[in-house]
Amino acid sequence: MTLDLDTCLEHLYEKKLLAECVLKEICEKAKELLLRESNVMHIQAPVTVVGDIHGQYYDLIEIFRIGGYCPDTNYLFLGDYVDRGLYSIETIALLTCLKLRYPDRVQLIRGNHESRAITQTYGFYAECMRKYGSAQVWHYFTDMFDFLTLSVVIDNSIFCVHGGLSPTIHVLDQIKIIDRFREIPHEGAMADLVWSDPDPDKDDFAISARGAGYTFGKLVVDKFLHQNQMSHILRAHQLCNAGYLVLFEDKLSTVWSAPNYCYRCGNKASILEVGGNGERFFNVFDAAPENDEKNSQVAVPMDHQIDYFL
Amino acid sequence: MTHREGVTTVSHDWTLIKASSLIDDQVIIEIDGNTPVEQACHHLVKNNISSAPVFNMSTSPHGNTVKKYCGMFDAGDVIAYILLVLKSSSVNDTGSLEIQEIVQRAMNGKQVPVSLASDLSQRNPFYSIMHETTLLSAVEIFACGTHRVCVLKPDGTIKGILSQSTVVKYLYEHRRQFPEIDDLLNRTVRQLSLGESAVISVNADSPVLEALSQMSEHGVSSVAVLGHMGVILGNISMTDVKYVLKSVHHRLLWETCIQFVSLIRTQQGIEDGQDRLPVFDVRLETTLGFAIAKLLATRAHRVWVTDERDRPIGVLSLTDIMVAVAGQVGVTPTGTRRSSVSRPAFAI
């Protein structure tokens, strides 16, 4: 079948579920596209960087409202598209279609939640079963996740990754040789890049309480930036009450894009706008008003017929 | 302190260190033996502790009332109690007198005092060590499966509770000081013949009650939750029973294991502001040192040992580490508390 991306996008912007066979096709095409991407993608500013979204569809639309819609604005998404929120499927379907439609304007990095093990515990699997009656859609997406890149560099200056640094990665070339086309392992460089966290109270690496990855401190950050001649590390992965957090004398920032996380944390969210001259601006925002209107109706499992769009 | 060339005041023999020196004075939450079991359970949950010493007041020969410790009440006992009460409709004459008494009382609607229930699991009797007890003796006790001991002050009152984790943390942090510990930590799980052991597991779709039954029947403190192709998706541990207690009418007992694991992890992730791996695991090629570092960082009591396809082939617990440490100085502990042979099984 020929995929009509514009029609798919039209439906996805109306938060409609696509048919299973359409999702299959979208994921297949996405894999072909992503296969050609390096583990370290190089892009240029201006670009708007987005942190964790976690299935909060209305807040993704809010991001487009304040940051500009594709393709008018270039976007870099740092991962964690699914789990926890009520609309993981609608969220990842929209992002995947945008990537297919505007491949040079949208970059998608893999987060620790883009994994089979995690999605079986934190909600995406259950949502697929609930909305499609089988695990097939979950299989399509989790297979596609294996193809997502691990990192992006903006203007040879800002290193962007979902989690953080690894004790086994000193230079970017070491990331390039990782075989990323697999389920995220529990140990090793690939695991570290999606699981690690900065720790302002430490200097070096320490094993993470999360059970994968490490925490890393100032000396590690300084050394990595120096050895790779870059100026900043940009990542997501940790909830920030103010929507973002800057550490190590502006050498590292965390951007968090899921406001009122899980519809109860009351936190702000932000997107980071990187300008053509390297200026960085955190655009802070609150949860979209649709959340209050629409979400309470969804808490109950849907018994009625779901309309699929081809 | 005088220092002479070649003479150091730092000890290189961990076995002789006083176990009591590893802890500071602690405020211990204790439970009166007359407290009904349900209230004792809420005590643990409310104070966010995993166990508490149970005492009875008795009259000393001099005529004054004195505290006497009769047991430790912990999650294992809570589980054994829940299973017992749920099974009470089909009880017959098997079981010791105490268990029968508990069931009788529960069936007649009478409150069960925690002093009766405090060693239902028969896995954590009240163990106390003295001020001068050596670390080696403490390790020997821990190597038998006991998770915590009470450290007594010279006057008989409790100074604090010493746990397996505190001892492991101490040895790990001071490993450079103790060459034989350092050597042990550099060996792999496989080299130490650890890590391949019986794995008690439940299916992801079975009810939580089944997981608790398995724990009780096999005398383990954690069961693996397995999904498709035997892949480990998560685990349910004894301490997770606090979530059951917090749920209305204990309804969580009848959720599936995977739903239960999801619930706990989801809640934990929001509280911490960061999510964790649902399973903490290592491979046979992992060094003991790395496995310990993981245990300490995650504050878990065990890690699963998995093969290259994420299927569990064994478990590495703090008790196993204690056995390995004791073995390093030629001590083989006897009387492990894992077997369920001598106890009635509470399987449903």
Read off the pLDDT band of A310 (50, 70, 90): very low
Residue B228 has what pLDDT?
Answer: 87
Place of tokens 């993470």: A208
Same domain as B43, residue B85: yes
CA distance, residue A289 to nearest chain B CA (Å): 22
The domain that holds B111 is classified in CATH as 3.10.580.10
Residue A308 has what pLDDT?
Answer: 41
Closest Cβ opposite residue A121 in set B261, B274, B283? B261
Per-residue pLDDT reduced to its tens digit, B129-159 = 998 999 999 999 999 888 899 998 888 888 9
Q: Which class for A103: exposed (0-12), middle (13-18), buried (19 or more C-beta within 10 A)?
A: middle
Report which of residues A208 and B7 the model is more confident about: A208
Summary mean pLDDT of chain A: 94
- A55 near B CB under 8 A: no
For the residues A174-200, what does the mean pLDDT come to? 97
CA dihedral B95, B100, B103, B105 (to 10 degrees): -170
Res B337 pLDDT > 70: no
Is A173 a domain residue? Answer: yes
Is B10 a domain residue? Answer: no
Cβ-contact B49, B29 below 8 angstroms: yes
- The total domain count for chain B is 2
Residue A99 has what pLDDT?
Answer: 98
The residue segments making up the domain with residue B90 are: 16-178
Residue A3 has what pLDDT?
Answer: 83
Asked if the Cβ–Cβ distance from A211 to B276 is below 8 Å, we say: yes
Q: What is the per-residue DSSP string for B237-254? A: EGGGHHHHHHSGGGGGGG
Is A247 a domain residue? Answer: yes
Is A230 a domain residue? Answer: yes
Asked if the Cβ–Cβ distance from A211 to B298 is below 8 Å, we say: yes
The domain that holds A112 is classified in CATH as 3.60.21.10
Res B288 pLDDT > 50: yes
Query: Count of A–B CB contacts within 8 Å?
Result: 71
Same domain as B48, residue B160: yes
> Using CB atoms and an 8 Å cut-off, which of residues 74-93 of chain A contact chain B?
84
Among B205, B275, B280, B302, pick the best mutation site for testing chain A contact (most A Cβ within 10 A): B275
**b vs e for A294-307, b when ≥16 Cβ sit within 10 Å of the residue's Cβ?**
ebeeeeeeeeeeee
Read off the pLDDT band of B8 (50, 70, 90): low
Is B322 a domain residue? Answer: yes
CA distance, residue A112 to nearest chain B CA (Å): 9
If you measure CA to CA, which chain B residue comes closest to A264?
B270
Per-residue pLDDT reduced to its tens digit, B244-268 = 877 766 788 889 999 999 999 998 8
Asked if the Cβ–Cβ distance from A210 to B258 is below 8 Å, we say: no
* Beta-sheet pairing, B222-226 with B201-203: parallel
Is B78 a domain residue? Answer: yes
Q: What's the order of all strands across the beta sheet hosting B312-317? A: B281-282, B302-306, B312-317
Per-residue pLDDT reduced to its tens digit, A35-57 = 999 999 999 999 999 999 999 99
Same domain as B162, residue B30: yes
* Beta-sheet pairing, A158-161 with A232-235: parallel
If you measure CA to CA, which chain A residue comes closest to B296?
A209
Per-residue pLDDT reduced to its tens digit, B234-244 = 999 988 888 88
Residue B248 has what pLDDT?
Answer: 65
Report the range of poorest mean pLDDT among A97-101, B117-121, B215-219: B117-121
Is B115 a domain residue? Answer: yes
The residue segments making up the domain with residue A181 are: 18-276
For the residues B53-68, what does the mean pLDDT come to? 84
Report which of residues B160 and B246 the model is more confident about: B160
Residue B97 has what pLDDT?
Answer: 61
Residue B48 has what pLDDT?
Answer: 83
Read off the pLDDT band of A238 (50, 70, 90): very high
Is A203 a domain residue? Answer: yes
Asked if the Cβ–Cβ distance from A211 to B310 is below 8 Å, we say: no
Residues of A catalogued as catalytic: 113
Asked if the Cβ–Cβ distance from B298 to A209 is below 8 Å, we say: yes
Asked if the Cβ–Cβ distance from A265 to B270 is below 8 Å, we say: yes
User: Which residues of chain B does A118 touch, with a Cβ-Cβ cutoff of 8 Å?
Assistant: 275, 277-278
Res A97 pLDDT > 80: yes
Asked if the Cβ–Cβ distance from A84 to B266 is below 8 Å, we say: yes
For the residues B102-110, what does the mean pLDDT come to? 73
- A122 near B CB under 8 A: yes
Is B298 a domain residue? Answer: yes
Cβ-contact A79, A109 below 8 angstroms: yes
- A238 near B CB under 8 A: yes
CA distance, residue A300 to nearest chain B CA (Å): 16
Read off the pLDDT band of A268 (50, 70, 90): very high
Per-residue pLDDT reduced to its tens digit, A119-158 = 999 999 999 999 999 999 999 999 999 999 999 999 999 9
Residue B82 has what pLDDT?
Answer: 83
> Using CB atoms and an 8 Å cut-off, which of residues 34-63 of chain B contact chain A?
none
Is A10 a domain residue? Answer: no
Is A116 a domain residue? Answer: yes
Please give the angle made by the CA atoms of A267, A273 and A277, to the nearest 5 degrees: 150
User: Which residues of chain B does A238 touch, with a Cβ-Cβ cutoff of 8 Å?
Assistant: 273-274
Closest CA to B281 of B343, B214, B225: B225
Among B237, B261, B277, pick the best mutation site for testing chain A contact (most A Cβ within 10 A): B277
Same domain as B124, residue B28: yes
For the residues B20-30, what does the mean pLDDT come to? 88
CB atoms within 10 A of CB A237: 28
Tell me the range of A142-151, B108-117, B235-244, B318-327 where mean pLDDT is highest. A142-151
Res A295 pLDDT > 80: no
Same domain as B142, residue B274: no
CA distance, residue A173 to nearest chain B CA (Å): 26
> Using CB atoms and an 8 Å cut-off, which of residues 241-300 of chain B contact chain A?
258, 261-262, 265-266, 269-270, 273-281, 283, 290, 293-294, 296-300
Among A52, A84, A121, pick the best mutation site for testing chain B contact (most B Cβ within 10 A): A121
Residue B342 has what pLDDT?
Answer: 31
Please give the angle made by the CA atoms of B72, B74 and B79, to the nearest 5 degrees: 130
Is B337 a domain residue? Answer: no
The interface pTM score, or ipTM, of the predicted complex is: 0.86
Same domain as B172, residue B225: no
- A237 near B CB under 8 A: yes
Q: At what angle do helices A57-67 and A88-101 cross, to 10 degrees?
A: 40
Same domain as B130, residue B261: no
If you measure CA to CA, which chain A residue comes closest to B235?
A121
Residue B95 has what pLDDT?
Answer: 57
Same domain as B264, residue B128: no
Closest Cβ opposite residue A208 in set B269, B283, B297? B297
Summary mean pLDDT of chain B: 84
Q: Say how far apart CA A142 and CA A145 lie, in whole Å.
A: 5
If you measure CA to CA, which chain B residue comes closest to A265?
B270
- A208 near B CB under 8 A: yes
Same domain as B70, residue B219: no
- The total domain count for chain A is 1
Is A301 a domain residue? Answer: no
Report which of residues B65 and B287 the model is more confident about: B287
For the residues B38-66, what does the mean pLDDT come to? 85
Cβ-contact A3, A99 below 8 angstroms: no
- A211 near B CB under 8 A: yes
User: Which residues of chain A does B172 touch, with a Cβ-Cβ cutoff of 8 Å?
Assistant: none
Cβ-contact A44, A74 below 8 angstroms: no
pLDDT above 70 covers a percentage of chain A that reads: 95
User: Which residues of chain B does A206 touch, with a Cβ-Cβ cutoff of 8 Å?
Assistant: 297
User: Which residues of chain B does A265 touch, with a Cβ-Cβ cutoff of 8 Å?
Assistant: 270
Same domain as B258, residue B214: yes
Same domain as B212, residue B147: no
